[in-house]
Amino acid sequence: MAVAVGRGYLVQPCSSSSSIFHNKIYKPSLGAASTLWSTSAPRRYGQIAVQPQQRPTWLPGLDPPAYLDGTLAGDYGFDPLGLGEDPESLKWYVQAELVHARFAMAGVAGILFTDLLRVTGISNLPVWYEAGAVKFEFASTRTLIVVQLFLMGFVETKRYMDFISPGSQAKEGSFFGLEAALEGLEPGYPGGPLLNPLGLAKDIKNAHEWKLKEIKNGRLAMIAMLGIFVQAFVTHAGPIDNLVEHLSNPWHKTIIQTLANSSS
Domains in the chain (CATH in brackets) are 87-263 (1.10.3460.10)
| Whether this model's pTM surpasses 0.75 | no
- Residue numbers belonging to the annotated binding site for chlorophyll a: 97, 100, 102, 213-214, 217, 219, 231, 246
Q: How far apart are CA 200 and CA 206, in angstroms?
A: 11
- Residue numbers belonging to the annotated binding site for chlorophyll b: 182
Report for 79-88, 155-164, 195-204: range of highest mean pLDDT: 79-88
Answer left, alpha or beta for residue 31, where phi above 0 means left and psi between -120 and 50 means alpha.
left
- What pLDDT was estimated at residue 264? 63
DSSP letters, 169-186, are: GGSTTSSTT-GGGT---B
- Which stretches of 2-86 are DSSP H helices? none
Lowest mean pLDDT among 45-49, 115-119, 171-175, 247-251: 45-49
Encode pLDDT of 117-135 as tens digits.
999 999 888 999 998 888 8
- Residue numbers belonging to the annotated binding site: 97, 100, 102, 182, 213-214, 217, 219, 231, 246
- What pLDDT was estimated at residue 22? 44
Select from 223, 237, 227, 231 the least CA-distant residue to 130.
Answer: 237
